[in-house]
Amino acid sequence: MIKVFLTAMFMSVMFAEKAMAEDAPITANVVQTNMDFLWTLLGAILVFFMQAGFAMVETGMTRAKNAINILMKNLMDFAVGSIVFFCVGFALMFGSSKGGIIGTDGFFLKGLIEDPWNLVFFMFQVTFAATAATIISGAVAERIKFKVYFIYSILITAVIYPIFGGWAWGSLLNGSGWLEGLGFIDFAGSTVVHSIGGWAALAGAIVLGPRIGKYGKKGEVRAIPGHNIPLAALGVFILWFGWFGFNCGSTTAASTDIALIAVNTNMAACAGAIAAMLTVWKKFGKPEIGMSLNGALAGLVGITAGCNNVSPYSAIIIGAIAGVLVVYAVLFFDQKVKIDDPVGAVSVHGVCGAWGTIAAGLFDKGGFDTHVVGVQLLGVVACFIWSFGLSYAMFKTLDKKMGIRVSRDEELEGLDVGEHGGNAYPDFGADYI
Amino acid sequence: MIKVFLTAMFMSVMFAEKAMAEDAPITANVVQTNMDFLWTLLGAILVFFMQAGFAMVETGMTRAKNAINILMKNLMDFAVGSIVFFCVGFALMFGSSKGGIIGTDGFFLKGLIEDPWNLVFFMFQVTFAATAATIISGAVAERIKFKVYFIYSILITAVIYPIFGGWAWGSLLNGSGWLEGLGFIDFAGSTVVHSIGGWAALAGAIVLGPRIGKYGKKGEVRAIPGHNIPLAALGVFILWFGWFGFNCGSTTAASTDIALIAVNTNMAACAGAIAAMLTVWKKFGKPEIGMSLNGALAGLVGITAGCNNVSPYSAIIIGAIAGVLVVYAVLFFDQKVKIDDPVGAVSVHGVCGAWGTIAAGLFDKGGFDTHVVGVQLLGVVACFIWSFGLSYAMFKTLDKKMGIRVSRDEELEGLDVGEHGGNAYPDFGADYI
Amino acid sequence: MIKVFLTAMFMSVMFAEKAMAEDAPITANVVQTNMDFLWTLLGAILVFFMQAGFAMVETGMTRAKNAINILMKNLMDFAVGSIVFFCVGFALMFGSSKGGIIGTDGFFLKGLIEDPWNLVFFMFQVTFAATAATIISGAVAERIKFKVYFIYSILITAVIYPIFGGWAWGSLLNGSGWLEGLGFIDFAGSTVVHSIGGWAALAGAIVLGPRIGKYGKKGEVRAIPGHNIPLAALGVFILWFGWFGFNCGSTTAASTDIALIAVNTNMAACAGAIAAMLTVWKKFGKPEIGMSLNGALAGLVGITAGCNNVSPYSAIIIGAIAGVLVVYAVLFFDQKVKIDDPVGAVSVHGVCGAWGTIAAGLFDKGGFDTHVVGVQLLGVVACFIWSFGLSYAMFKTLDKKMGIRVSRDEELEGLDVGEHGGNAYPDFGADYI
């Protein structure tokens, strides 16, 4: 007990000294640095929360019998993605590179963890990598094997996302990127994150084929409505909330720039929601909710590339066009080319990501410049070729090696039972399936 | 490829220069300004998230057959409100004004977007305007036409909210306000936001009349329970969470003042929840959840006006009184005067908003002053006359022009089918309605 | 009206002066202080939101007929806990103490509210106290009387949590603590918050006994699945989100330390989720969701003590071990010793809290030191004796005085009807029970 007292006394002295040290004058630069850490971490936290948003949107927009499966995919693509991006992806994206093609150092954050900036920057970037990964889960919902999705999550966060990401953003840390070298504008990732995810989702949906019952024998299209619309709406609100971190946090510095970015982000989302609602209202006679929710997301994806270099007026236009676009894109994939994408991920993230990237060139506050728009188009095309091409090859390979789709019986019964041995709503009776 | 390499090299030089520039000494004032932006934006983000809270509370507290309709109203009042407040409302509220009656410039943020402070301030304020708008949706739930709600959302964010708001808060930017000129205290909007919304909700509920089945032929009152209490509870937690941004963010500056505001906000909410629960427990024999949840909200609404000028002890008292008050107010509207307000919005926001505004005078840390309390009462009365009067006139006008209520058949079947062609929970069988 | 004009003019002058005053030079230390307030409050807000996470996890993982009861417990343990911690707990934990055993001043924050730092520090700490309290609710779910839970919430936030908390963290304000005097490491509360809650939960579960139907007459174990897995998954995402505030906010200062803490927190959660999933997959043939979700929480609990003094590599190992541990701990309590803990709270918070505390010693970046590990073990044992012993005595006493368990009929019908007179999902038919 005496020892305790003595130690306690010693501690008191230490604390007193610490208090005095804290009162020592510090420079404004140190405070700004601390704030940049705070802001970047806050952005990461908000973007992390988007995982909950994706989980709710995708669960709500699909059937009850597959709810556990979708939640597990969302949980695991983040968990696996974080570990894989830590080990491999971050190095390929931000490591030193010759010619801006591929990073070559920093695997397992080797040599990086000593500088806390690298850690907070990693924290921010890992949530972006996981966002790209999770976009796919909605498009391949209700029929992909869990094991395959697990493997694919590794591949996208280890290879597909980071290498392209390095082309556009590599110089943010130690690397460089050939696309950014050309002047490619993608402030927060309309292409780098959303289109990468969207085109990978397209590949997955094509290789898998449509869900049983989606298209009739005579080619008629059947709607398969989502089972829990309040959860889907909650998910969209969560995504919108997190998107402020996604776009504003991409400054990775606390500056007055965040004001314009936030206003642009919000106005585009609003315009997208309204435009999509009005489009579907006019087209089908009623303001349908699924399209309206996707309209908000479309506006958000659309403004992501240019949120820092367009005016609020342009943001409204960009968002509104995205809102109209997403409706026609969903109809195109769903009814024209008959690619079954249960939540519209390809349209929201792929198509509107491409639109947003081009729009960042078209509406650049610096004025219209054909060269700039050309580079934007180049980035959009490069993204499609890289992500769709590689993903298609990978899904095809996985399909040959192990089969990527669950059995017909399992699909009919629901993946919750077949893949996870569970039931998302056991108290509500078996009749909910 | 050579061009890519050269450009990349050029970029490297540029980035190196940028890094050096960032190390140049900055002043503490610049850092503080950056932090004020960060804080104000963070407040806006949190208040934005309250939209999800309102959506969940209102959806959970009403019937499954109207869930889509309520979610659409919540999504759209924010989307439409943001655009309208951008175009018109912000100017009327914060533009230059003679005599503090109405702002006359800054429409479409003209002349304002060049200064980033105006943008972040707008971002914060637009979430407040949308909060006022969304309060109404709960009171008019399960029977108002979607189109009418859409129009009303425009009117409240364009006219009703901003003009009154300018009276109390106009000088925060360029304007001035006659009420604040008199010394009116409403730090974060018990009156400006909550009562404005609450009294408009009262007008809507009166003009619409009660839901079918709410009151029997002999005047008996029937409870129409909400269909998803976990969502309603989640909504209250989200609102509470966002309210820290609502009240603490209203400093629009990162200072040590936020400590008192946060503690007051939290203690009042806790006291409100407990007081409401005990009141209903004593009165009806069981601690009912709907009233307990509304008690927390009542405490939050009650402390909003005075969160910066009362002590934590007063905050507990203010919250507890609000918690008791909300129970009796709900019973009064529901059973005495038979105004059907499905979620208790009038009681929570209207009545407790008025109470909080008066309490901000009564419990002022500076001491009790009859003049101050008189001005508070004046503000409360002015708010009621303005918001209830104008809203009543508008709902009446809309009712004459186009009818504001859905058909009897549609109401019985549910607005999800009639207004939106959807079903919130298709997998759970038709028997849920 | 003239008076209004004059006052308005006077106000304008005042505002102009205020604006000038704001431009007066401030020091970087003042700005840093403001930022420390901002950061600490932000941490508090995020930790507050964990209440929503606990509510959703516990509601989702239990039966529909008890949903209201669980939500009410979560709402009320926070509300009551805040008031009680304000009145008593904070003083016992952080008040001046002789020998670091118990604080003796600061009741009702007397003498403390004048300094805003005390207020923001209280705000942060009150959310921690409520977290400890709310952990119990899952373990005692579906059978404890609401009134008893209400009383127990008072006791844990008034006595059990704060006294132990003072031993480990007392010196953070005015107090001192005998455990911290010995060098006990528990940065954000693996022991102080989680084990305290977990061992109290164990006591409650033992005294209550298992739910009806959980164990057959021949000792066979029946699974009682949760009724709403999407809500449970949402809850885990919310908890993870809030945990960034829990761990990073525990610096109570905005510094570059938050980077390591955030990365460690996230990596441990990911490793925990994956490890638990793989363990259960191997053991039972399918990647079950409940265990996977608990694995993420186990990783988070496990890293909480050492998040600031271990490397990211160690964080991954700590989280992974926690993920394996939680599976075996759940099976041990559920099947070996037959203690019915509906959500696995004892395993997640008690066991993994203990593991995390020991791990903070084992993986200390400063190197392995048997003395350090010995102190960690001492803290773990002290926590168990204190929290389990006192909680057991209290539950036993309450059981004798008033009975702590609802009647058999009420348990079978559901506590929502019996305790609260409600039904969480009235529109979905009575067959959901």
- Closest CA of chain C from B166, distance in Å: 13
Residue C431 binned pLDDT confidence (cut-offs 50, 70, 90)? low
Could you count the other beta carbons within 10 Å of the beta carbon of residue B23? 9
User: A225 to chain B: which residues are within 8 Å by CB?
Assistant: 422-423, 426
User: C38 to chain B: which residues are within 8 Å by CB?
Assistant: 35, 38-39, 254, 258
Q: For residue range C232-252, what is the model confidence (pLDDT) as tens digits?
A: 999 999 999 999 999 999 999
* A421 with C100: Cβ contact below 8 A: no
Per-residue pLDDT, B18: 43
> Given A7, A38, A423, which is nearest C181 (Cβ)?
A7
Place of tokens 């107090």: C175
For residues A187 and B54, what is the distance between their CA atoms, to the nearest angstrom?
32
* A35 with B34: Cβ contact below 8 A: yes
* B228 with C424: Cβ contact below 8 A: yes
Residue A26 binned pLDDT confidence (cut-offs 50, 70, 90)? very high
pLDDT at C10 over 90: no
End-to-end CA separation in angstroms for chain A? 65
Identity at C164, one-letter amino acid code: F
Identity at C117, one-letter amino acid code: W
Per-residue pLDDT, C428: 86
* C269 with A79: Cβ contact below 8 A: yes
Rounded to two decimals, what is the model's pTM? 0.95
* A28 with C28: Cβ contact below 8 A: yes
Question: Are B393 and A29 spatial neighbours (Cβ–Cβ below 8 Å)?
Answer: no
User: C30 to chain B: which residues are within 8 Å by CB?
Assistant: 28, 32
* C292 with A83: Cβ contact below 8 A: no
For residues B232 and B296, what is the distance between their CA atoms, to the nearest angstrom?
12
Q: Which of A56, A97, B335 is nearest to C232 (CA)?
A: A56
Calculate mean pLDDT across residues C84-103: 96
Range of the domain at B248: 17-416
Per-residue pLDDT, C16: 43
- Closest CA of chain A from C88, distance in Å: 24
Per-residue pLDDT, C24: 83
> Given A29, A177, A270, which is nearest B25 (Cβ)?
A29
User: C285 to chain A: which residues are within 8 Å by CB?
Assistant: 421
Residue B4 lies in a domain: no
User: B255 to chain C: which residues are within 8 Å by CB?
Assistant: 34, 37
Rounded to the nearest 10°, the torsion over CA C32, C34, C37, C43 is: -70
Calculate mean pLDDT across residues C114-138: 97
Place of tokens 């990468």: A196
For chain C, what's the residue count? Answer: 433
For residues A141 and C235, what is the distance between their CA atoms, to the nearest angstrom?
22
* B59 with A230: Cβ contact below 8 A: yes
Rounded to the nearest 10°, the torsion over CA A208, A213, A219, A220 is: -130
User: A27 to chain B: which residues are within 8 Å by CB?
Assistant: 25
Residue A219 binned pLDDT confidence (cut-offs 50, 70, 90)? confident
Question: Are B396 and B48 spatial neighbours (Cβ–Cβ below 8 Å)?
Answer: no
* B32 with C34: Cβ contact below 8 A: yes
Question: Are A280 and A218 spatial neighbours (Cβ–Cβ below 8 Å)?
Answer: no
Could you count the other beta carbons within 10 Å of the beta carbon of residue A117? 16
Q: What is the 3-state secondary structure (H, E, C) of chain C?
A: CHHHHHHHHHHHHHHHHHHHHHHCCCCHHHHHHHHHHHHHHHHHHHHHHHHHHHHHHHHHCCCHHHHHHHHHHHHHHHHHHHHHHHHHHHHHHHCCCCCCCCCCCCHHHCCCCCCHHHHHHHHHHHHHHHHHHHHHHHHCCCCECHHHHHHHHHHHHHHHHHHHHHHHHHHHCCCCCHHHHCCCCCCCCHHHHHHHHHHHHHHHHHHHCCCCCCECCCCCECCCCCCCHHHHHHHHHHHHHHHHHHHHHHHCCCCCHHHHHHHHHHHHHHHHHHHHHHHHHHHHCCCCHHHHHHHHHHHHHHHHCCCCCCCHHHHHHHHHHHHHHHHHHHHHHHHHCCCCCCCCHHHHHHHHHHHHHHHHHHCCCCCCCHHHHHHHHHHHHHHHHHHHHHHHHHHHHHHHHHCCECCHHHHHHCHHHHHHCCCCCHHHCHHHC
Residue C3 lies in a domain: no
- Closest CA of chain C from A79, distance in Å: 4
> Given C100, C266, C311, which is nearest A123 (Cβ)?
C266
Identity at C373, one-letter amino acid code: V
Residue C427 lies in a domain: no
User: B43 to chain C: which residues are within 8 Å by CB?
Assistant: none
Number of domains making up chain C: 1
Residue A405 phi, psi (nearest 5): -115, 145
For residues A114 and A119, what is the distance between their CA atoms, to the nearest angstrom?
8
> Given C65, C227, C241, which is nearest A425 (Cβ)?
C227
Residue B133 lies in a domain: yes
Q: What CATH number corresponds to the domain at position A314? A: 1.10.3430.10
User: A290 to chain B: which residues are within 8 Å by CB?
Assistant: 422
DSSP state of A251: G
- Closest CA of chain B from A120, distance in Å: 17
Q: Which of C57, C61, C118 is nearest to C91 (CA)?
A: C118
Q: Which of C64, C71, C72, C142 is nearest to C405 (CA)?
A: C142
Residue B70 lies in a domain: yes
* A119 with C259: Cβ contact below 8 A: yes
ipTM exceeding the 0.85 mark: yes
User: C236 to chain A: which residues are within 8 Å by CB?
Assistant: 75
A144 - beta bridge partners? Answer: A405
* A428 with C432: Cβ contact below 8 A: yes
| A54's tokens | 């994706």
- Closest CA of chain A from B25, distance in Å: 6
* C176 with A8: Cβ contact below 8 A: yes
User: A237 to chain B: which residues are within 8 Å by CB?
Assistant: 49, 51-52, 55
* A244 with B41: Cβ contact below 8 A: yes
* A293 with B75: Cβ contact below 8 A: yes
Question: Are A189 and A305 spatial neighbours (Cβ–Cβ below 8 Å)?
Answer: yes
Identity at A305, one-letter amino acid code: A
Question: Are A14 and C213 spatial neighbours (Cβ–Cβ below 8 Å)?
Answer: no
> Given B63, B270, B433, which is nearest C83 (Cβ)?
B270
- Closest CA of chain A from B7, distance in Å: 5
C144 - beta bridge partners? Answer: C405
Q: For residue range A306-359, what is the model confidence (pLDDT) as tens digits?
A: 999 999 999 999 999 999 999 999 999 999 999 999 999 999 999 999 999 999
* C296 with A75: Cβ contact below 8 A: yes
A101 exposure class (CB count in 10 Å sphere: 0-12, 13-18, 19+)? middle
Q: For residue range A153-188, what is the model confidence (pLDDT) as tens digits?
A: 999 999 999 999 999 999 999 999 999 999 999 999
| C-alpha dist (Å) from residue B255 to B36, B173, B343, C120, C172 | 9, 19, 36, 12, 22
> Given A31, A42, A260, which is nearest B116 (Cβ)?
A260
| B270's tokens | 């806790």
For residues C334 and C210, what is the distance between their CA atoms, to the nearest angstrom?
10
For Cα atoms A238, A358, B111, give the angle at the middle one, nearest 5 degrees: 75
- Closest CA of chain B from A228, distance in Å: 5
User: A37 to chain C: which residues are within 8 Å by CB?
Assistant: 254-256, 258-259
Q: Which of A288, A195, A190, A281 is nearest to A233 (CA)?
A: A288
Q: For residue range B26-43, what is the model confidence (pLDDT) as tens digits?
A: 999 999 999 999 999 999
For residues C89 and C91, what is the distance between their CA atoms, to the nearest angstrom?
5
> Given C10, C74, C427, which is nearest B227 (Cβ)?
C427
Residue B1 lies in a domain: no
DSSP 3-state of B196: helix
* C431 with A426: Cβ contact below 8 A: no
pLDDT at C14 over 90: no
C44 exposure class (CB count in 10 Å sphere: 0-12, 13-18, 19+)? buried
Q: What is the 3-state secondary structure (H, E, C) of A328-339?
A: HHHHHHHHHCCC
Could you count the other beta carbons within 10 Å of the beta carbon of residue C324? 18
Question: Are B37 and B116 spatial neighbours (Cβ–Cβ below 8 Å)?
Answer: yes
DSSP state of B217: T
Q: Which of C319, C192, C304 is nearest to C246 (CA)?
A: C304
User: B296 to chain C: which residues are within 8 Å by CB?
Assistant: 75, 79
Identity at A43, one-letter amino acid code: G
Residue A429 lies in a domain: no
User: C20 to chain B: which residues are within 8 Å by CB?
Assistant: none
User: C313 to chain A: which residues are within 8 Å by CB?
Assistant: 108
For residues A416 and C415, what is the distance between their CA atoms, to the nearest angstrom?
29
User: Which chains sit next to C, with 3 or more Cβ pairs under 8 A?
Assistant: A, B
Q: Mind listing the pLDDT tens digit of every residue in chain B (433 residues)?
A: 445 444 544 454 444 444 444 568 899 999 999 999 999 999 999 999 999 999 999 999 999 999 999 999 999 999 999 999 999 999 999 999 988 999 999 999 999 999 999 999 999 999 999 999 999 999 999 999 999 999 999 999 999 999 999 999 999 999 999 999 999 999 999 999 999 999 999 999 999 999 999 999 888 999 999 999 999 999 999 999 999 999 999 999 999 999 999 999 999 999 999 999 999 999 999 999 999 999 999 999 999 999 999 999 999 999 999 999 999 999 999 999 999 999 999 999 999 999 999 999 999 999 999 999 999 999 999 999 999 999 999 999 999 999 999 999 999 999 999 999 999 999 887 556 5
User: C427 to chain B: which residues are within 8 Å by CB?
Assistant: 63-65, 227, 432-433
Per-residue pLDDT, C17: 42
> Given B8, B116, B146, which is nearest A176 (Cβ)?
B8
* C48 with B227: Cβ contact below 8 A: no
Place of tokens 């971050």: A90
* A29 with B26: Cβ contact below 8 A: yes
- Closest CA of chain C from B271, distance in Å: 7
* C181 with A45: Cβ contact below 8 A: no
Interface test with B, best of C119, C137, C234, C416 (most B CBs within 10 A): C119
Q: Which of A107, A132, A118, A119 is nearest to A47 (CA)?
A: A132
Residue C423 lies in a domain: no
> Given B178, B225, B259, which is nearest C119 (Cβ)?
B259
Return the sign of the alpha-carbon dihedral for residues C229, B243, A130, A87: negative
